[in-house]
Amino acid sequence: MGDNNKHRIHEYIKTEMLFDKSANLLTDEKPLLGDIIDSMGLQMLVPFLETEFGISIPDLELIPENFYNINSITDLVDRLAKRD
pTM of the model: 0.91
Q: Is residue 40 part of a domain?
A: yes
Domain that holds residue 68: 2-18+29-83
Whether 24 maps to a domain, the answer reads no
* Burial (0-12, 13-18, 19+ Cβ within 10 Å), 70: buried
pLDDT at 44 over 90: yes
CATH code of the domain covering residue 39: 1.10.1200.10
Kindly report, residue by residue over 51-79, the tens digit of the pLDDT: 999 999 999 999 999 999 999 999 999 99
In a domain, 23, yes or no: no
Domain count, the chain: 1
Does residue 69 lie in a domain region? yes
Which residues have CB under 8 Å from 24's CB, separation 6+? none
